[in-house]
């Protein structure tokens, strides 16, 4: 029996609006693989056309205040939107990091002039953002970054190296952290800059992207080398040397996640497992049935966690350390079920589909992709070990774990 929560008349009315619009406007084509995920910045012509239709209907940047071009939706209503698009089996296309990270940071810390210039360009898709935060020696300890920014007249000139820049090859703008006061303390002297990745003539703006090939054959990340990248001082958000404050706003939005709808793709994945087991004639095998029960149970736990989160959002509560519990739970489950899905196929799981002999292509099927992709899910966004520490200290009230660099000698 499915438990339902009454989220109030406003959320009900919005759900009815969405269902009506999706029923009337759903395209008659199938979306490419990955279309069931909510965060899609660019893709096939079909996805691009669908994004334009959503934009025309006012379904971009819906969580932004109305005065900045959004719809002022509450967290509950955004969760309802994610859920309805997922249930309709169409992607909820967004403006990516521009919508979820840069826009909220500009709204919180930008000048009126910056808001008037940058926010409409995010909503209409003119500016497509990637994030220039992590460096080879500044990952978890982001404040130790070494990329430099030097003021030159009315511009800032940036030089340094970034890494793990997601989706950079499909973007034209980067929000980048650089140290503009090398004599300041660690968290001071950092500036948050919006920089164009190309010059007006189309040539690179002092930036070189080197794609990092992943184990599944894709190159979703890049090494990013910056040498003399220029941006107007107008593009410094929050003012020179005060970028850490803006960064905290960005990171707070990055870690919010989609806990209220996290279970939906896993529900679909569970039925893929059942279908695979039936196709191979092993659905009555006790060990297979036990694994299927394990998968179903974990999916239901994710669903109920989402319902709890949605109920707390509806009550106006802030979502705290339970986000860490959710991240730890779904990422470890995704890793493990991906491994088991591949194991279920036996030796067939080791054969890549449709790759001609001698081809450099590296195609993988669904379960191979799941196996490869989720090896990293327990690392990005905060490792499972870090999430356990957060749960232990902030939920259970246990003492902080001793750190080697602070241990008594």
Which tokens sit at 387?
């999430």
Q: Are 64 and 104 in contact (CB under 8 A)?
A: yes
DSSP state of 225: E
Tokens of 211: 């794609």
For the chain, the 3-state helix, strand and coil shares in percent, each to the nearest 5, are 45, 15, 40
Please name the helix (run of DSSP H) or strand (run of DSSP E) that holds residue 122, with its range, or none: helix 112-123
User: Within its chain, how far is the Cα of 230 from the centroid?
Assistant: 27
H-type alpha helices, 215-353: 243-254, 263-279, 286-314, 322-344
Tell me how far CA of residue 98 lies from CA of 61, 67, 249, 406, in angstroms.
Answer: 9, 17, 13, 38
Write down the catalytic residue from 254, 267, 312, 332. Answer: 254
Q: Residue 350 burial by CB count (10 A; 0-12/13-18/19+): exposed, middle or buried?
A: exposed
254 is catalytic: yes
Closest to 252 measured CA to CA, from 311, 307, 323, 326: 323
Q: Kindly state the tokens that stand for 88.
A: 């309709």
- DSSP for 125-173 reads TS--EEEE--BTTBSSSGGG---EEEEETTEEEEEEEE---TTGGG-SE
Instruction: Name the 3-class secondary structure at 317.
Output: coil
Task: Name all contacts of 151-154 with Cβ < 8 Å and 24+ positions apart.
Answer: 151/180, 151/233, 151/240, 152/230, 154/232, 154/233
Show the tokens assigned to 324: 């860490």
Q: Which residues are catalytic?
A: 254
């Amino acid at each position: 029996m499915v438990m339902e929560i009454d989220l109030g008349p406003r959320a009900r009315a919005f759900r009815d609006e969405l269902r009506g619009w999706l029923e009337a406007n759903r395209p008659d084509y199938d979306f490419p693989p990955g279309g069931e995920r909510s965060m899609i910045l660019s893709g096939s012509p079909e996805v691009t056309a669908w994004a334009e239709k959503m934009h025309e209907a006012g379904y971009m940047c819906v969580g932004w205040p109305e005065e900045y071009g959004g719809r002022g939706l509450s967290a509950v209503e955004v969760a309802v939107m994610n859920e309805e698009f997922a249930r309709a089996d169409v992607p909820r296309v967004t403006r990516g990091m521009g919508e979820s990270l840069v826009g909220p940071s500009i709204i919180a810390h930008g000048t009126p002039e910056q808001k008037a210039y940058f926010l409409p360009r995010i909503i209409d898709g003119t500016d497509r953002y990637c994030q220039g935060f992590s460096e080879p020696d500044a990952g978890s300890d982001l404040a130790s970054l070494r990329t430099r920014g030097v003021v030159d007249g009315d511009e800032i000139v940036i030089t340094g190296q970034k890494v793990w820049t997601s989706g950079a090859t499909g973007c034209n703008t980067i929000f980048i952290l650089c140290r503009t006061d090398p004599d300041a303390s660690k968290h001071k002297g950092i500036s948050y800059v919006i920089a164009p990745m190309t010059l007006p003539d189309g040539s690179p703006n002092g930036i070189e992207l080197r794609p990092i090939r992943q184990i599944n054959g894709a190159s979703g990340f890049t090494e990013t080398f910056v040498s003399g990248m220029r941006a107007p001082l107008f593009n410094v958000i929050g003012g020179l040397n005060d970028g850490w404050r803006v960064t905290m706003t960005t990171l707070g939005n990055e870690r919010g996640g989609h806990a209220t709808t996290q279970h939906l793709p896993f529900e679909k994945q569970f039925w893929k497992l059942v279908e695979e087991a039936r196709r191979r004639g092993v659905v009555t095998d006790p060990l297979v049935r036990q694994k299927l029960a394990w998968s179903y149970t974990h999916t239901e736990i994710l669903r109920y966690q989402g319902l709890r989160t949605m109920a707390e959002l509806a009550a106006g509560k802030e979502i705290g350390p339970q986000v860490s519990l959710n991240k730890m739970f779904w990422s470890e489950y995704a890793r493990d079920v991906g491994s088991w899905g591949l194991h279920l196929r036996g030796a067939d799981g080791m054969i890549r589909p449709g790759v001609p002999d001698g081809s450099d292509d590296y195609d993988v099927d669904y379960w191979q992709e799941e196996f490869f992709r989720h090896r990293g899910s327990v690392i990005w966004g905060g490792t499972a070990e870090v999430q356990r520490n957060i749960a232990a200290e902030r939920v259970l009230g246990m003492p902080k774990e001793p750190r080697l660099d602070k241990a008594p000698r």
